[in-house]
Structure 1
């Protein structure tokens, strides 16, 4: 019996394989010509020879095994051979955060990708220390994390906006998990249980926390869950990992 292009979906997935994000459409037999930077990566960084295989994904068409057909250091041509994983819907989870500076922001973005965020939303609070946000650098970190962690849907990176405007624009049906360092300690899993079905947003504040007016406005929004992350004051990048891990655990427990 003839094999179909999806027969390979029954095989164990090789998470050790090199993965590359591309913008091109992916389908059986499709040719993907890499730009200079990605050709350099394929040729000089991972040293993929002609005839060697790599996994490609674009956030739309699933993941494909591709073979390198030709090219040098400045160009490379790949051909899709078989689809390895079908595309899944992106997670309906917004991760909103007060921007940090440089390396700590890089770390936070990478961890948010690993923890299943669907969109990354920088929000400017009154105590936000970083006055400029390099969204292109954020997108590069998103792609790198998605390539390394087997993720099919790299999160979208939104442009920064003031906290009040972002809050006003949240759809009423999107529950908000407001991580408040001043909230009384309580069982976080119990607090999250009623909020995990449906669209969700998780908000982490800046170093120094939210001011009183911001805190009151956030807590007053209908559908908001005010969440304590424990007795310790966490750095914002650490709080991001803790909060998203709790959300993932609560969703897993509810399945």
Structure 2
């Protein structure tokens, strides 16, 4: 049985017959991790040009390039599905991003709230986690990672077309499940920290237009569990 061709996110101008250089990390991955050699096939993809098959061209122990061969898949427009989340410890946050990418998220919004314990994010590591997840799950795009904002800034940047589902652990009734069957065109999910939202934050969010306070069911979920439970309800659902 033939081996599955490795995929690389390659946001460059992909055209048949073009020769492209690989980065040091890409070269190491293909040659030392995947044990590929000259002539072996890989797949390159990006949002703008879709997916292409390419042939590896080894030029030395630590240097390689690819020659683009044929077009496999045309680019696709992914429906908007936003996730706003508070920073977590690095390994948990990488897990959250990885699974969110698999579940079709288009935009990632790290947000600071009063009870957020981790007050920063490593954008390079999060972006790398998102790219790796897209490579593994055969997406043709990588989600947009937005800059870290406080809750007020985040809400101030919402557009009239976006609808925010505020996942509130103390919300009585109003399950997110009730809204997921036919979501709006631009749904955005907000999940808070493990300490929950401050009372003033809850009042602030509930007073905003275009915001619906929802429950994820009985019990208190870990932050990453809540985010993925919410995303899974919207994954693949038809849009209004």
TM-score of the two chains, using structure 1 as the length reference = 0.88
C-alpha separation in 2, matches of 1:234 and 1:74: 46
> 1:128 & 1:193 partners in 2: Cα distance?
31
Query: Which one of 187, 200, 218 corresponds to residue 213 of structure 1?
Result: 200
* Pair 1:191–1:140, CA change in 2 (3 A): same
1:25-174 correspondence runs (5 A): 25-174=13-162
Cα offset, 1:193, TM superposition: 4.3
Distance 1:73 1:62 in 2: 30
| Alpha carbons 2:8, 2:44 under 8 Å: kept | yes
Which residue is equivalent to 1:9? none
Distance of 1:210 and 1:234 partners within structure 2: 13
Rounded to whole Å, the distance in 1 between the matches of 2:228 and 2:113 is: 20
Q: TM-score, normalised by structure 2?
A: 0.93
Q: CA deviation at 1:185?
A: 3.3
Q: After TM superposition, where is structure 1 displaced by more than 4 Å over at least 4 residues in a row?
A: none
Kept in 1: contact 2:38–2:58 (CA 8 A): yes
1:234 is aligned, of 215, 221, 225, to: 221
Work out whether 1:203 is the aligned partner of 2:190. yes
Q: Give 3-state SS (helix, strand or coil) of 2:169's partner.
A: coil
Q: Which has the higher helix share?
A: 1
Task: Report the 3-state secondary structure (helix = DSSP H, G, I; strand = E; otherwise coil) of the residue aligned with 1:63.
Answer: strand
Count of matched residue pairs:
239
Aligned-residue offset at 1:197:
2.6
Q: CA deviation at 1:169?
A: 1.1
